[in-house]
Structure 1
Amino acid sequence: MSGKARNLRLAALVAVLALLLVPVGGPASAAGGPGVKLSATQAGAGGSVTVSGTGWRPHTLLMLLVCGRATPSRGVIGGTNSCANGDGRAVTTGAQGVFSRKLPVAEPPVPCPCVVHVATVTGAQAEADAVLQVAGHPVAPLPAERSGGRLAVLSDTRLTGSSGPLTWFGAPPSRTLVFTVGNTGTSTIEDPVFQVGSAHGVFAPQWDDRQWHGRLAPGRKAEVRLPVELSAGAHGDYTVSLKYDGRVLAEQPWGVGRPWGVTLFWILLCLVVPAALFRIGMAVVDRVRPRRSGGSHRTGPPSLPRPAALRLPRPAALRLPRPAALRLPRLPRSRTPEPPPANPTLPWFAPHSGPGDPACRLSAPHNDSPSSPTTPTRKGPT
């Protein structure tokens, strides 16, 4: 055997060993970051593959999806709208940041190239992709990348501002998304249009276009402020996402308080309405109830019969003897009145009459003394 043939065999053996050492569906992330690998690189719709990952944050909730129009280098073009969301699976990493989960293979709503997309649900954003060929699913070339300007977020995003007092009564909460972007391309970017989305829990975000007016030359950076508004009565944990040119640039969590004013309103409504209906019903009953023929008509519930009064025996009265009445003797009355004298005479002491007058002597004492005839005459010693 010649030396040339020996060298060819040795090169073939090295190539076979290299292929055997390469992991199937190897991780599509940089060294030191989260990685994903698959048990098979090709599967048909209805089958399943086992997805394993290392390098993730411990005890983190992850979402596993089969997505189209995606590559590990460019990510998922179009976001989760290009994924089979109905057949996704969730998994929580262990204490060492590893996981293993069986994922059913489903056809995404857009053509391949396809990947298995793994991303965090809450907390700091982290994602990784692994190539998967879905057998029988159409394949289409990816849209060409834009040449020229390219934006990148240079600082952490934050939400500023506060909601007014009407938010306590169900008004839409609003904030301002503030971040700094830089132009890493070779041409100037003018009036870029961003997409701002808000997602509640594990649901996909709803995107709204927000245009920033300004020019950004290559190598320059600028601070961008975009308004964010949720629906009326929104509360709970939300995630605000920023996307540009089909790529998610940043995500920011947002905790929205409960509108307690709406709760208070419903409590008062549940108390006032029954009370008003009760009053109306009582008024109707009072009108239609037949009134009594005599006496005042008494409204309200019927009165209960009064209990019989407890009668105690009265103590015997202390009766004292009445004092004898003082009865005076009655004077006898003459039955026939005496006729008045024919010639009335004046008393002896009347004027124009002297004591010696015969008329006066008729009424005066016989002994011409003022003393009473019953008074004895006191005689001196003889």
Structure 2
Amino acid sequence: MFDASVATDDAYLPGIRNKLILVSLIVGLLEGMPLGSVTASIYKGIGGQLNSLILILAFGAMLGKLLADSGAAQRIATTFINMFGKKNVQWAMIVTSIIVGITMFFEAGFIVLIPIIYTIVAETGLPLMYVGLPAVIGLSTTHSFLPPHPGPAAVSTIFGASMGHTLLLGLLIAIPAAVIVGIFYSRTNFVLSAKASIPAGLVTTKVFKEEEMPGFGVSIFSALIPILLMAISTLGDLTLSKKDPILVYLHFFGDAPIALLLSVLVSMVTLGTNRGKKLEEVVASMGVSVKSIAMIILVIAAGGAFKQVIVDAGVGKAITAMTAGLNISPIVLAWIIAATLRIAVGSATVAIKCRVKRMPIFILC
């Protein structure tokens, strides 16, 4: 579920994992924590960070793989492009990337959309950045703001927030952000002046023929099942009494891991066996998808270890003392710290929590 570029995150992930564990040890020791306490803090952070998040990551990867391998993601993209037309192809790419990006990891969505972007550029003659940037921005914003992507999902877990509420609030931020950057910024002379061309022989991802793809209805339904379940659960919280017995069922089916599990089970049929694939083939493909996120899980676990050491070592108190005399809004300060670390690290797969005074700051880095 990652921004920047595929190559960027793939290159950074092993290094980030090792550095976070090493830095966790160093910070704990420099802060005077006993050796046993440092390792105990690391183990506690890893367990607390993964928790139910590991199921979200695994089921999300499976669903994304099913969408990609069946041609459903390409069907969603081509349908919206035909619907919007050449003049509004950027809007088509934004809508497509947001829908695809809700349930697919950034890398998976990027790989699925790249051949479609190249095809559109080749057929229309439009600049590559003009067509491609809106798609990348759409994927990036869904990754950064919406569960079940690892960053926002981990933040929701850390703060005990509702996944459904986080999703709905995230949409209110992600959609305008995607439009502002993906549509208006991509039309500026600065972006259009960038020289970009389609690399020869780079794309090996399969481009499905019309008859090979599932219908648009079943494709978009399969992609949005977890979102619908979480949204219904959230609407139930807003409209029903807390004592209403229906809420028990809504909360169960709207819980992110359960919603994703159900979507995977349904998609195995709608995008798998109903499309003529053998069940063994579908299961094998899903197994490959889980292997692909092993490094991501380790990085997030390492981030949890670092977070817990920071909390247990009292780094939050040190930051409080450093910033106590600053005449600046704590919200602005939180944003500056988060943005600085996010830029410095270069990956958006780890959620780190620290505290300045009594206000929690989550740092997506």
In which range does the TM-score fall when normalised by the shorter chain?
under 0.3
Normalization by structure 1: what TM-score? 0.21
Higher strand content, 1 or 2: 1
Q: Tell me: higher relative CO, structure 1 or 2? Use CA pairs within 8 A at least 6 residues apart.
A: 2
Normalization by structure 2: what TM-score? 0.22
Q: Which has the larger radius of gyration?
A: 1
Higher helix content, 1 or 2: 2
